[in-house]
Amino acid sequence: MDSGLLSEDGSAMGRWDQPDHVAVEKLRWKVKMLAKTGRYGAAEFWMDKIACLSDYRDLNDFFDMCEYLLLDGQHAACQNLIESRGLHKTKPEFAYLLGRSHFANGELDDALKALTGYVPSSQTTQTHLSDYTALEEDDQMSIDGDVMMRNPGESFSVSTGHDDIYLSAIQVLRGKIYDRLDNQQMACAAYLQALDLDPFSSDALDYLTSRHAIQTNERKRLMDEVVPRMKLGDDPGEHSLPEAIYLSKLQPDYNLRGEDKVAWRKWEHSAFALNPDFLLTKAEFLLGRRDYSAALQCTNHIMKLKPFYRNALPAHISALVHLDRRSQLFDLSHRLTLLYPGEVETWYATAAYYFICGGTDMTRRYLAKAIAMDKSCGYVWLLYGHSFSREREHEQALAAYFHAVDVMKGSSFPYLYIAREYVRTNNFGLAEKFYGEARDLARDDPIVLYEVGVMQIKKSESKAVTVNDAKKELLKAVDNLKLSLKIVKADSNEQKMMDSALESILESLAAAYMKLKEGKEALYYATLAFQITAKNSVILKLMGMAHVLLGHISDAVDAFQRSLAVNKDDTMTKKMLNEATEFFAKEGLAAEMGALDLGVARKIRSAKGPMTDSSRLSIKRASSIKRKNSLVTTTAQKGTPEVADSSAMDMSVSMEASTSAEPSFMGDFQPMIVAREVTLLDSGAVDESLVHVFNSLS
């Protein structure tokens, strides 16, 4: 009793430096509350005193003290405490903490060295990894009032049940380090190993899926092997919540049909209908289907719930770019610059704004800044390639797209854009190769099929292709375009395709049939495209050509006049209008020609010289028909071809302009350049191929 104290009644009191277990647990609880409120300095101060009671032998207290030092920014002190005791060599939690400290300081090599000092090499199997043991913990807690206490007399350390959690955390940190070091292969391997160790490592899954870093076979392996380990209930027939969330991220967008296409469709009326991550999954799917208006509705709602939510920013920016929402994008980039100047999304948004404004130099300047921060952002490389492609700088564009391929192995978009560049340079062999790669990744994507069809139309125009081969290419193009249209129709019951994409498919079909001299089919598809937009000069010009080919000269004049009203500078349309007007004036208003047989017309012209009124009458196939009231009515009543799965009545075409919603990633920005810019009717390709129609009539 000589070293102790006596109370007023003479009983012995405990020493101040030897508090009882209840008092220590109360102090620990107080420390946790300080840490929850972000007061890490105060938390570390009191945790140091608790750890001192056991001469720093209680590794739980020692770990908490070191972690509070790390969170308080005292990296050197944290590192010294761990390294001086060599705990990072035998305990995974301390190896992870030491690696975090070096990583936060930007010391990537030291961080990697601290982690590899404990974790086996990448060639070691998961079985070997599980053999590594950590500190044992008996963390059974009893509750005394509001205070959580450890059972007295027991050692306190980390449980073996937590080994995989810390080993998974180490792999995630290794992935971040390799990502910073621009070693994407090792980064992906580390993230995959993290998921194998702990399926609940959502940060690893988010990296792999949002950046399209894994291919289809790896996605399937994760669904088959990793996701089932997340089941929380005992019912083998039902997915648990974690399983359903992961399946929505891992399930491919294109290779499934119907209700099971994407898991989020089943959540529309659930408690997760307005959850930000659920809405992001939905927005990414809509971006893949090019429904930018609906995608922007989702991302706008996300931004209201979580302003500037980092995971949703690439999809949000993508939708803004596609809809040319310059004012919104300017406001977003300006606010991001003020709030988050150190984030790659900030400078990506700024570059995207200058891209849609046409400022190529400023676009590349800010993209270079974004790339310097994070070289593994595939959507940044895609936009970088677009900035060169728009200026017809093919070599630089291809270099950027190939870099995107390296970091987006699971996305079809880089291959699609590479193929486009080769089409522009008339390198159809390499274009077909990369279109094949895109189709392997997204076999049922209608836009990939559309691009292949357009490439085949361009190939048929090549001088190196014979007449027979050109016709074969056109027939292949028609098949691919019809398949693309069929998929759009099948999908339209659940998801409306973006009108401009649907318009491009129909326009290309009309162009292909015009090259095949099949006016009836060309007029049918051009009319369907006309129903989507009445202000497309190319579609109106195609309708005029189809009418000429069918002998409906008065309707052709009407279509050419409408086309010129939209685009007054189209010299080829002016020439065709003059020819059609002159011919129609000679024929008079009482009659219209039937479908022309161009072969007969050429024979008559070669035998008799310039065609006269009588020679024109000799090649008519039908008597006069009553003129219809309007262009669309005329087309509909003259009959349409029997084309599989293509009917004007059941075609799902949106006739309304979206006013409340606004519209290329991968979770990512994948700007789809308007298709007709790449191949469709640029430079009057179809005009040149059909100018002989008017030569036959003149």
262-300 per-position pLDDT tens digit: 454 566 667 777 889 888 888 887 887 777 888 999 999
User: ∠ CA 102-206-317 to the nearest 5 degrees?
Assistant: 105
Q: What is the pLDDT of residue 306?
A: 93
DSSP string covering 31-58: HHHHHHTT-HHHHHHHHHHHHHHTTT--
Q: What is the pLDDT of residue 42?
A: 94
271-280 per-position pLDDT tens digit: 777 889 888 8
User: What is the rounded distance in angstroms from the CA atom of residue 528 to the CA atom of residue 504?
Assistant: 11
Quick one: which of 336, 116, 213, 359 has its CA closest to 666? 213
Phi and psi for 570 in degrees, rounded to 5? -80, 100
Both tokens of residue 382? 């895609």
Quick one: which of 123, 160, 154 has its CA closest to 140? 154
Q: What is the pLDDT of residue 583?
A: 77
User: What is the rounded distance in angstroms from the CA atom of residue 577 to the CA atom of residue 605?
Assistant: 22
Residues with Cβ within 8 Å of 31's Cβ and at least 6 positions away in sequence, in order, are 43, 46, 47, 50, 64
Query: What is the helix (H) or strand (E) element at residue 202, kind and residue range?
Result: helix 202-210
In the predicted model, residues of the chain with pLDDT beneath 70 are: 1-17, 119-162, 233-239, 251-269, 490-500, 586-698
Query: What is the helix (H) or strand (E) element at residue 5, kind and residue range?
Result: strand 5-6
Q: Torsion over CA of 23, 29, 34 and 38, rounded to 10 degrees?
A: 160
Residues with Cβ within 8 Å of 33's Cβ and at least 6 positions away in sequence, in order, are none
Residues with Cβ within 8 Å of 27's Cβ and at least 6 positions away in sequence, in order, are 19, 46, 49, 50
User: What is the rounded distance in angstroms from the CA atom of residue 106 to the CA atom of residue 80?
Assistant: 17
Q: What is the pLDDT of residue 619?
A: 41
477-497 per-position pLDDT tens digit: 999 999 888 877 766 544 455
3-state secondary structure of 89: helix
Strands 5-6 and 141-144: unpaired
**Tally of CB atoms within 10 A around 39:** 15
Q: What is the pLDDT of residue 99?
A: 94
For 426-446, letters b (16+ CB in 10 Å) and e give eebeebbebbeebbebbebbb
The alpha-carbon radius of gyration of the chain (Å, integer) is 34
CB 580 within 8 A of CB 554: no
Both tokens of residue 372? 């310097």
**Tally of CB atoms within 10 A around 154:** 11
Q: What is the pLDDT of residue 5?
A: 45
Q: What is the pLDDT of residue 484?
A: 86
Both tokens of residue 628? 């219809």
